[in-house]
Structure 1
């Protein structure tokens, strides 16, 4: 039996989860609404709010799991990648908690955790499988060979798909966070109303910088002709942008799956909550005879349950770190 307390603080969510022998018994998330005033996450503000949230969130997680802190067997934390100031709050608290109770420390790669979120609930993928990991900061196709052996076979060469969603929202003056707002409007629009530049990148890699520029120039040109263009066509713009991004993502995923001979397919990361991506993956699964795995919404965005799940397998392997461990804003996959 192992009871693990896990902390996630890589960006602007302060989250703490408890796992009991691999079963998640608590997953508490405190969001930071202050960043809505600025249209994006302000790192210094994020780290300060983490300091305010960390103790009450831990207390609530222990209460939800009906666990006393003296029953905890190990402490896990996100080491990176992420905002250094935010990571520092979680890492420092984890080290202090572990030191006070003489507990082992488990350092978790944030991107590994997104993938291993698929092992929180049933059905679970079987190895090997491909995971399209898509967020505001990352876009990767990962060949997952085991709980600890993963290989990036494709990734973005510049901007992430999530950033393309967010920048589009900013161009359209939609409130932060923009990605979910684009998704909401896309449900009401025509996905074939407008076409944008599709990047021509070799292998399984992605690029979204040119796509973002295409959207920007398209909007500017249309606004010169009609100053009310965005207001009059918002749903169609969002639907067309989302349709394009989803098609770009799934085309490379399909290419990788065919050439690598893999039919176990998963998606993870914040953008995996996007309704268009989920629907597109389900449609492609029928066409290609895939078995697909889509995490519950609460495990798509940053959360400590995925950190706890990754830590569970590290605990089995006795994969611990020392007290001198430091957070890493950039971390080797």
Structure 2
């Protein structure tokens, strides 16, 4: 009995908008419970009457007949009330299903609206991302233009035709070339400078050009400088570092912002010493690259100024000790 009463209380706690549906089952259930309580009272009453000890045999026999009749009647009443309750329960279940369907459909509508909002938000995000990408592209273009402007401030030497030679013919100078290739490929070597000295006309510049072409194809060429006594610019070290730096960004595009940044931060770099220029424009940017890098310097002896030659050799000797990734190939006549 208490369990049924608890169910009634539970039904009465449903939301107000569902009370109409609950009413289809609540009243029959209450009537059923009240009827069971009445039956319970009747059974208790009959039990008490039968337990009286002063009844005679006839009265007791008559009472038994009455009890049986009442019990049969109560059984029929219980079955009838149970049937009514089950019918009400069926109606209640159907109505509750309708309410659930209605609630589900309302939820689906809200979900569709939410999905529409999500799609709209996603579209806005995509549009914003596209705008950001376009802005970044514009910024990158602007930065690229700024970097290009800075790189163009690097003065370069226009090498004369007589200082630029053709590579070695196939099958020639193989011994010396093999020695050079072994030196270039040996990352454990403690000799970062390869100095090829020979007399005039021995083909040093041809070997240098062969090395340039080979290392360019392998992606390890950093830059080149061909000294020539036939050119005022190519016979001094005044534009040596800036020319190497221009070559550096030409062969290794990833170093463009680093070289450009050095130029922008030091607009008066041409007034610096040769060692300072090399550190600023070449060694510094090379710190941002992985792997070895080779510079080619041909005909060092054609640098007209002995003090400049001495300063260049000393500078190169220092920088290769600081940077283990840098190697330098030099050609010259003996005792330049």
Task: Give TM-score scaled by structure 1 length.
Answer: 0.22
Q: Per residue, is there more strand in 1 or in 2?
A: 1
Q: Per residue, is there more helix in 1 or in 2?
A: 2
Q: Which has the bigger relative contact order, CA under 8 A and spacing at least 6?
A: 1
